Amino acid sequence: MILIKDILTMPSMKESHLLAGLEGIYKEAGNISVMETPDFESWVQPKTILLTSLYATQDFSYNAQLDLMRRLARTDISAFIIKTEAYVKKSPPKVLLRAGNNVGFL
């Protein structure tokens, strides 16, 4: 297991930005998975870092994005990492800030 705070100090994460969920940096992570579809509840495991480009959710409304964040929080994942630029130019900040700060994950 590794702490999220230690992952954030790795050279490959040097251009990353923590957008929400500061208390989540002390969570342990045991694996990483790629989220290509928004139906992750059936396969995601606790202590997982989910990596996504948000491609599958790029046309979601604000409420659908917020629902996605709430569903993520119920799964006990350790972190949610969004790779921007490929399909989504920036992270949906209002959704991330509201969800990350209210439910306590990155």
pLDDT at 92 over 70: no
CA 40 to chain centre: 12
* Number of H-type helices and E-type strands within the chain: 3, 5
Q: Quick one: average pLDDT of 83-102? A: 65
Range in 35-44, 51-60, 73-82, 97-106 with the lowest mean pLDDT = 97-106
pLDDT exceeds 70 at position 106: no
Residues in CB range of 1: below 8 A, 6 or more apart: 28, 29, 30, 47
The domain locations on the chain are 2-103
pLDDT value at residue 103: 47
Q: Note the pLDDT tens digit of each residue in 14-52.
A: 888 777 778 788 999 999 999 888 888 889 999 999 888
Q: What is the rounded average pLDDT of the residues 68-95? A: 76
